[in-house]
Amino acid sequence: MTRTRDMLQVTVQRGEAGKTRMQRFDVPARENQTVLDVVSWIQQEADPTLSYRFACRVGMCGSCAMMVNGVPRWTCRTHVSRVANDGRLDIAPLRNLPVIKDLATDMDPFFDKWVAAEARHHPTRGRLEEFDPITPDNPERAEANLGIECINCGICYAACDTVAGNPDYLGPAALQRAWTLLNDSRDADRPTILAAVSGKGGCHNCHSMGSCAQYCPNELNPMRAIAGLKRETVKAALRGKRDA
Amino acid sequence: MLDLRLYMAQRLSALVMAPLVLGHIAVMIYAIQGGLSTTEILGRTQGSLLWFLFYGTFVLAVSVHAAIGLRVIVHEWLRLRGIALDVLTWGICAALLTLGLSAVFAVTLP
């Protein structure tokens, strides 16, 4: 493969919240190069004060997500050749999250919402007891399996226009996690999960626009999980009325 | 900005509206094609319990459905929240109910 240009024109958002600016860098183009390689080159060769976040570099840790040409992406697995626009890259911190500095966002609101959605394990048994076996053929287990490969990268949260318009909305990742736990036989507190996802910022705010599913780097479908939560919360509410 | 209660109210009101919308469109087409005059229309609707229930239910469902839908749009686009958002929601519902029911009463009361 031959390249038509030797240099990439890269624009990076710099600064802290409320004081951001765009800074231009010329970065050598390589035959094989990820967006994270480009950001690392800038930090190592051009400006050591550039702040960004990464760890594993192989698409497992979920820490290197950024906006690339306006689209949220995992930068370690995104090849420049696939996303550069005529040799240009615009790199910015993840949307819908507060900026700490440069390309590093404050992930607290994202993970606080996981807790608010009760997207945490509620144990059924003690450590001395046998645990419930995983049965892949069980339909509920199969449904849970569809969502458990989430790496918490925050790309769906950045892609979600409902989060952008409604800051209280729990977001696709937290709700998908709640859905996997709801379908997990080893989770003991189904009513608490259903109550947590039924509040003012809950699953019913989703407009099913599908950006979460479109941009998830692991090709998960949080929109499907949220539809499942809507179904189960309505069923539970109707059952509750009948029992009363 | 939608909890389970509002979500269900909006879905159930949509369920009620669906057949009524079809009925309303059918009535409109029938009234226009047949060339019914105002007097002829009022002659059929005034004193009719059926038309009162049909359009009365329609107005109730529309008022609930539209108020919740506009509540979401106003919250997401104009960032209105809290009591102001609740007041606006109920205000839209009340306004639609008043306008709609006054129209229903006007054409169905004997």
Condensed to tens digits (0 to 9), the pLDDT of residues A52-111 reads 999 999 999 999 999 999 999 999 999 999 999 999 999 999 999 999 999 999 999 999
User: How high is the ipTM of this complex?
Assistant: 0.86
Cβ of residue A56 closer than 8 Å to a chain B Cβ:
no
Q: Closest chain A residue to B72 measured between Cα atoms?
A: A205
The residues near B65 (Cβ < 8 Å, ≥ 6 apart) are B10, B13, B14, B17
Amino acid type, A15 = G
Contacts with A162 from chain B: Cβ below 8 Å: 76
Question: How does DSSP classify residue A160?
Answer: -
Q: ∠ CA(A107), CA(A108), CA(A112), 5° rounding?
A: 125
* Residue A83: CB atoms within 10 Å: 15
Cβ of residue A202 closer than 8 Å to a chain B Cβ:
yes
Q: Which pLDDT score, from 0 to 100, does residue A64 have?
A: 97
Burial class (CB in 10 A: 0-12, 13-18, 19+), A131: exposed
Name every residue in B having a CB less than 8 A away from some CB of A.
1-4, 6-8, 11, 72, 75-77
Q: Which residue in A162, A166, A198 is closest to B4 by CB distance?
A: A198
Q: Do A234 and B75 touch (CB under 8 A)?
A: no
Whether A244 has a pLDDT exceeding 80, the answer reads no
State mean pLDDT over B31-46. Answer: 86
| Residue A85 backbone dihedrals phi, psi, to 5 degrees | -105, 95
Contacts with B74 from chain A: Cβ below 8 Å: none
Q: How far is A194 from chain B (nearest CA, A)?
A: 10
Domains of chain A: 7-105 (3.10.20.30), 108-243 (1.10.1060.10)
Predicted TM-score (pTM) of the model is: 0.90
Q: How far is B67 from chain A (nearest CA, A)?
A: 15
Q: How far is A117 from chain B (nearest CA, A)?
A: 13
Structure-token match 């183009």, residue found: A29
| Percent of chain B's residues with pLDDT above 70 | 100
Q: Do B75 and A199 touch (CB under 8 A)?
A: no
B64 band by pLDDT with thresholds 50, 70 and 90: very high
Q: Which pLDDT score, from 0 to 100, does residue A76 have?
A: 97
Q: Which pLDDT score, from 0 to 100, does residue A1 have?
A: 45
The residues near A131 (Cβ < 8 Å, ≥ 6 apart) are A125, A186
A132 band by pLDDT with thresholds 50, 70 and 90: confident
State mean pLDDT over B49-63. Answer: 97
Q: Are strands A65-68 and A88-92 parallel, antiparallel or unpaired?
A: antiparallel
Cβ of residue A63 closer than 8 Å to a chain B Cβ:
no
Q: Are strands A65-68 and A71-74 parallel, antiparallel or unpaired?
A: antiparallel
Q: Which residue in A205, A230, A234 is closest to B1 by CB distance?
A: A205
Contact between residue A89 and residue A11 where contact means Cβ atoms under 8 Å apart: yes
Cβ of residue A96 closer than 8 Å to a chain B Cβ:
no
Q: Closest chain A residue to B81 measured between Cα atoms?
A: A166
Residue-averaged pLDDT of chain A? 94
Question: How does DSSP classify residue A63?
Answer: -
Distance in angstroms (rounded) separating the CA atoms of residues B94 and B96: 6
Contacts with A230 from chain B: Cβ below 8 Å: 7
Six-digit token pair at A58? Answer: 């192989």
